[in-house]
Structure 1
Amino acid sequence: PRRYEPRHSPPLTLRSTQTRNSIEGKKKRAGSLGEEEEEARDSSTGSTWVVVPGSEVLGADAPKVVGWEELQQELARLWSLSAALAAARDRKAGLAARLESALEARKAVLQQDNELAEMRQRLQSHADFMGELRMQTKEVSANVDDWREQLCVKIRTLTVADKTVGAAQSKLQEPCKLLSGEHGHGRLKGLERMLRMRQQYMIGQVAQIYPVRPLNEQSPIVKPGLNSSITRTGVSEAVSPNGSQNGQAPLAILGLQLSKLSIKKTSYFSDKTEIQKSATLLGYVAHAVSLIASYLDVPLRYPLRLGGSHSYIVDHAPSVDPSIAPGVSSSTPSSTSMRTMEFPLFFEGQETTRSAYAVFLLNKDVEQLLNHIGAESLGPRHVLANLKQLTTIVQSQQYISD
C-alpha cells in the first residue's frame, strides 16, 4: 500500500474562506453527510481559514502519520469535531449571554437591596426620632396638669386684681368728675393765679413803702408792675460787696444805706448818726421781710421781733453753756441746750459781732424767700440786693404765669 509522507518543512495550517468546489469535494469524501447539512454547518459556523506558523500548532513537532486509506476517516472525524466545537461555542455564547443577563439581574437586585437597606436605616432613624418625641410628649403631658393648676391660680389672682382695679376706677371717677367740673383743677388754677396776683399787689405795696434803689435816684416811689418785664436772670447781674451793681451807686431804702461802720468795730468817737441810720435801715428791711413772708405764707427760719430801729432776730440753734469750762467733765449728759437767742439788728456798745451775725441771719431769711419762689441768692453780704431781687421777681409777669 502506498503511504502519504508529509514533508519536513514547517507545517502550515490553511484557513481560508472555502469555496463552493472545496465544499462539494469534502461532501464527496465524507460520503455520510448530505449536501444540505454541510452547507448549513458551514454557514452556521461562519469560520474562516488563516495561515498560522507551525510553532503555534499543537503537536506540530511530532505530527501524526496517517495512511491514505485512513485519511478520509480522519478528515471526517476532524470535521465532526469541528462541528462539535462550533456547537460547544454556540452553547458557550448562549450560556455567556444568559450568565450576563443573570448578572445584570443580580446587579439590579443588589442595587434594590442597597436601596432597601438605606430606606430601612432612614425608617429606623425616623422611628427613633418619633420615640423621642413620644417621650417628650409624655413628659409635657405629665407637666400640663401642674401648669394648668398654676394657670388657674394666676387667673383667680388676676380676676381678684381686676375687680379691685375696677372698684378703684369706679371710686376714682367721682374725684375725676369733681376735678374736671367747675370746681375742679381749672378753678384751682384760677384761684392760684388770683392768689399770686394778690401777693404781687401786696408785695408791690411793700416795695412802695420800702423802695430799694440806687442812692443817686430821685424818684421816691416805684409803682407795682413797673419792672414787670425784668426777668430773673437780669436781676442776678454781678453785685459788688457794698450792694452796687456794675459800678453803680450803692443801694438804699429811702436814702438810708448800710453804713460801712457796721462791719468795723465801733468806738465812743464813732459817728452815732451813721449807726442810727444803719439801725433804721435794718428795721425797714426786717419789717419788709416779715410782711413779704406773711404774704407768701412762708414761716421764716429765723423769726423776727420787730421794734423799728431796735428790732431783733431769733436763732433757735443750740448754744454751749459758758459756765462749763473746757476739759472739765459735767454731771449732765450734754453741755448743749436748745434755747432761743436773740441778736440785735442794731449796733449797741463797742462790740458789733452780735449785730453782724444778726445781719447775716436776716440775709438768710431773704435767701429763704428767694428759694421759695425759685430764685438764687446773690451772696451772703447783699441784703439789699437780695431784697430788691425778691421784690422785682414777684412784681414781674413771669411770677403770675408760673
Structure 2
Amino acid sequence: MEGSESEPDRTSEVEAAATEVEWHVVSADDVAGVEAPKVVEWEDMEQEIARLWSLSSALRIAKERKEELSQRLASIIEARAESLQRVNELEDMKKRLEARKAVRRDMLDFSDKSSEDVEIRIEQLSLKIRNLLVAGKTLSAAHNQLQEAKNLLTGDNGHGRLKKTKTKLRMRQQYMVAQIASIYPVRTSNEHIPMKILDTYSGGSKSGDVPPAKSISRSSSQSSLTILGWQLMAMPTKKTGYFSDKKEVQKTASVLGFAAHALHLIASYLKVPLRYPLRLGGSRSYIHDYSPSVDSSQPSTDSATTSPNLSVSSSIPTEFPLFFDGQETITRAAYAIFLLNKDLEQVLNYIGAESLGPRHILPNLKELMRIILSDEFLDR
C-alpha cells in the first residue's frame, strides 16, 4: 500500500517538476551520448528522474546565480568605467590646475617685479616732482624778480628815467663839444695858399725806419680846413735853420697842439680813455705810446735777457713830439701825428663813425664834432 501511494506522489512531483522545467527542442547532434544512449531500468527510472530533477534544479539555481553575478559584474564594470573616467577627468583637471598654478606663479613673479619697478618708478617720479617743485618755486621767484625789475624799468625810476638821463647826458656832451667847437673852430678856407698841405704817411715803427713825410701839392684855388684860421702845413724837409719861414713850423706845431687839446677834451667828456695818451703843452705837446719795443743796442741772442727789456719798455711809455724841432725830430713827429690820428679814429669808432683816412687830422676832427653836434648823436 505504501509503495502504491508513494508512486503517484513521485509521479505528481515529476510532472510538477516537468511543468516547472522549460523544455526545448534540440537536434540530436546537440545531445551528448545520443549515439550510445544510456539504458535505465524501470526500477531505477524513478531515481534517475529524481536525480535529473535535482540536477535541473541545481542548473536553474546556477543560472540564476550566474545572472545575478553577471548583473553585479556589469554594475561593477560600469562603476569601474565611471571611476576610470572620473580618474582621467581628475588627471586632466589636475594638469589644468598645475598649468594654472604655473601661470599664477609666473603672474605673481611678474607682479612682484612690476611692483618693484613701480616702486622704483614712484621714487624716481617723487624725486622729479620734488625737483620740479623746487624748480617751480625758483622759477616763480625769478619770475617775480623779473616782474619787479620790469616794473622798475617801466616805472618813473626805470628805463624811462635812464633814457632821459642818457639824453640829458648826450645834450650836456653836445653843449661841451659845442664850446670846444667855438674855442677851436674847424672851418674851410678859400684862401690862396701856395704852400703844401700836410699829408703824412706813417707806416713805419718808432725805431727809426719811418719813411719821410710825403705831401700832396694842392692848387691855390682848392679849399682846405683850418683851426683858428691856421692850416696844418707839411713837415719841413730841411733843417729849421734853412727853412724859408720858421713861423709856418710854429703854426703847424700850434695847430697840432690845438687839435690834441680839442681831442683830449672831447675824449674826456665822452669818457673814452685814449689808446695813446696826450701830454698837453700847447705847441709843445707830446703823445705817448705804450707799445712794447726792444732796445736795438742790446744783444738779442738770449731770450731770457730780452723779455725783461720788453716788460720794462711796455710799462714805460715812449713820448713822441707833436712839433718839429730840427731835422732829427721829423720822423718822430710824423709818427706822433700818425698816433694822434689813431686817437681820432678811436673816438670816431666809439660813436659809431668811420675815419676819413690816416692822413686827415682836421677833417677827422671836424667830422667828430659834426656828428656829436647832430641830432643823431642823441639816439646813439
2:368 matches 1:394:
no
For normalisation by structure 2, the TM-score amounts to: 0.58
- 1:192 is aligned to 2:166: yes
Indicate the residue corresponding to 1:36 in structure 2.
none
Which residue number corresponds to residue 358 of structure 1?
A: 336
The structure richer in helix per residue is 2
How many angstroms apart in 2 are the aligned matches of 1:242 and 1:268?
24
- Residues 397, 167 of structure 1: alpha-carbon distance in 2 compared, 3 angstrom cutoff: same
Q: Report matched runs for 1:228-243 at 5 Å.
A: none
Answer whether contact 1:312 1:345 (CA < 8 A) is retained: yes
Question: CA separation of 1:346/1:141 partners in 2, compared to 1, >3 Å: closer, same or farther?
Answer: same
Q: Number of residues paired by the alignment?
A: 246
Letter of the 1:344 counterpart = P
Shift of 1:202: 1.2
- Structure-2 change in CA distance of 1:216 and 1:332 (3 Å): closer
Letter of the 1:321 counterpart? D
Change (3 A) 1:153 1:189: same
Shift in Å, 1:212? 1.6
Equivalent residue runs for 1:169-180 within 5 Å: 169-180=143-154
Structure 1 segment 309-324 matched on structure 2, within 5 A:
309-324=283-298
Give the distance between the partners of 1:333 and 1:371, measured in 2 at CA.
Answer: 33
Out of 269, 275, 294, the position equivalent to 1:295 is: 269
1:189–1:276 Cα change, 3 Å: same
Between the aligned partners of 1:149 and 1:325, the Cα distance in structure 2 is 74
Identity of aligned residues (%): 55
Q: 1:269 to 1:217 in 2, by over 3 A?
A: closer
Q: Does structure 1 retain, via aligned residues, the 8 Å contact 2:320–2:332?
A: yes
1:348 match = 325
Instruction: Give the conservation status (yes or no) of the 8 Å contact 1:312–1:342.
Output: yes
Equivalent residue for 1:203, pick from 177, 184, 202: 177
* 2:363 aligned partner: 385
Residue 129 of structure 2: aligned partner: 155
**What corresponds to 2:82 in structure 1?**
none
Gaps of 5+ in 1: 1-133, 219-240
Equivalent residue number for residue 283 of structure 1: 257
The one-letter code matched in structure 2 to 1:281 is: V
Whole-angstrom CA distance in 2 between matches of 1:390 and 1:243: 26
**1:332 Cα deviation from its structure 2 partner:** 6.6
How much does 1:243 deviate?
11
Structure 1, residues 254-277: CA drift from partner, whole Å, max 9, x if none? 222221225x46453123122111
SS in 2 for 1:320: coil
CA distance in 2, matches of 1:286, 1:200: 19
Equivalent position to 2:142, from 153, 168, 182: 168
Q: Partners in 1 of 2:261 and 2:284 — Cα distance?
A: 11
Partner-residue secondary structure (3-state), 1:190: helix
Q: d(CA) in 2 for partners of 1:399 and 1:216?
A: 30
Structure 1 residue matching 2:235: 3-state secondary structure: helix
Which residue is equivalent to 1:268?
241
TM-score using structure 1 length: 0.55
Sort the Cα spacing of 1:243 and 1:299 in 2 relative to 1 into closer, same or farther, 3 A: farther
Residue type at the aligned position of 1:272? K
Give the 3 Å change call, closer, same or farther, for CA 171–329 of structure 1 in structure 2: closer
Q: Contact 2:235 / 2:324 at 8 angstroms: preserved in 1?
A: no
Paired residues of 1:309 and 1:346 also in contact (CA < 8 A): yes
Assess, with a 3 A threshold, how the Cα gap between structure 1 residues 208 and 332 changes in structure 2: closer, same or farther: closer
Change (3 A) 1:148 1:248: farther
Amino acid at match of 1:356: A
Equivalent residues of 1:243, 1:384 under 8 A apart:
no
SS across alignment from 2:288: strand
Contact preservation (8 Å) 1:214, 1:248: no
1:1-400 superposed matches below 5 A? 143-216=117-190, 248-261=222-235, 264=237, 266=239, 268-270=241-243, 271-327=245-301, 331=305, 334-336=308-310, 337=312, 338-351=315-328, 352-400=330-378
1:283–1:298 CA distance, 2 compared to 1 (3 A): same
2:54 maps to none
Deviation at 1:334, TM superposition (A): 3.2
2:277 touches 2:289 (CA, 8 Å); kept in 1? Answer: yes
Q: Compute the RMSD of aligned alpha carbons.
A: 3.2
